[in-house]
Amino acid sequence: MKHRSLKKHFPPSKQNFRGFSLFEVMISLFIFGMIFAIGSNSLFKHSPKHHLERAAWEIRSQLNQARYRAIFDETKFRVVIGKDFCALEKYDVSQGKWGRIETGFLEGVNLTANNSPIFHPTGTVSNLASIYISNLMGTYKITLAISGRIKTLKIGSSP
């Protein structure tokens, strides 16, 4: 079997290829920059939606945690809602006052509540609450029943 030379099939070029020209690099960077700008604009547009959903989930989680801790620790717990935070507090019977356990700050949303719900060791709630979480993307309403049931409802959204 004869060995054929690859030189017949691929003749050497007249110019040695040493890299890209400045013009080619600039065009590539421009295209990459345009793709990045379009993608980042899309992400920033949806950011308020994710802030709203995360805040609703976080508050619902704090309410559930307060209820279960009240049952298992056999003491009162409450959830305090501020303008941009949600805090879990435990009632200290020996001192007769509330002590803050943890605070979660929520970015990109406005919070309003008519009460700070208090969870009792039986799992029930006093100071029933309606909590509103809102931003540019809409509003969530979280209501708390006396039985401890938590209901989340999206009541408004913008296009």
Write the CATH number for 121. Answer: 3.55.40.10
Segments forming the whole domain that contains residue 105: 48-157
| Distances in whole angstroms, Cα of residue 57 to Cα of each of 8, 70, 104, 151, 152 | 69, 20, 12, 12, 9
Beta strand 97-105 with 85-92 is antiparallel
40 located within any domain:
no
Domain count, the chain: 1
> Residue 65: how many CB atoms within 10 A of its CB?
16
Has residue 108 been placed in a domain? yes
Could you list the pLDDT tens digit for every one of the 159 residues in the chain? 555 555 555 555 555 667 778 888 899 999 988 888 777 766 666 688 888 888 999 999 999 999 999 999 999 999 999 888 999 999 998 999 999 998 888 888 999 999 899 999 998 998 888 999 998 889 999 999 888 889 999 987 655
41 found inside a domain: no
